[in-house]
Amino acid sequence: MTEPVSKRKILTHPVYLLAFGFGSGLAPKAPGTFGTLVAIPVFWVLADLHLVWFLAAIVLMTAIGIYLCGETARALHLHDHPGIVWDEIVGYLIAMIPLAKDWRAVVIGFILFRIFDIVKPFPIGLADKHVKGGLGIMLDDILAGIMAAIVGGVLWYYGLQLHFL
């Protein structure tokens, strides 16, 4: 029988550390929300890139995430452990694609992404239930990010952000 993965191992093993969002996934309550909060400074760093490079960063982080999340889930013997939050980081970045580097956009993207990630409307819930492994862990958050990007982009484009904040 394999030994359980300790918090110390999560914080010192590079794969687990990244999968747990630099430790944010160890939050005792709402680790997905804490993982999404970690995504905000990542967005601020990447937001000044040309759109092509921003998208390339998301694709690269997605590919890396499939590996990170899959390996960490195998080590923990639990598919989509709540502490695995790399997928939230990538999902949030996707949500921010049509939005500006503006604090109001950051808040709108955060709220919309968390709503779609928690509620899991079709097809998010379907993917969450039926796709396994690293891809399955990533896919529901990718879809939540896409849906948040669509809604957030419409809100931002039509200037509705001023009515919310």
What whole-number distance in Å separates Cα of residue 117 and Cα of residue 108?
14
User: What are the CB-based long-range contacts (under 8 Å, 24+) for 21-29?
Assistant: 21/85, 21/86, 21/88, 21/89, 24/85, 25/81, 25/82, 25/83, 25/84, 25/85, 26/83
Angle at 77 between CA 134 and CA 93, to 5 degrees: 30
pTM over 0.85: yes
Residues ≥6 apart with Cβ < 8 Å to 138: 62, 65, 66, 69, 86, 87, 90
What whole-number distance in Å separates Cα of residue 30 and Cα of residue 106?
19
| pLDDT tens, position by position, 94-113 | 999 999 899 999 999 999 99
Identify the H or E element spanning 127.
helix 124-130
Domain limits, the chain: 7-164
Confidence of residue 1 (pLDDT cuts 50, 70, 90): very low
| pLDDT tens, position by position, 5-52 | 788 999 999 999 999 999 999 999 999 999 999 999 999 999 999 999
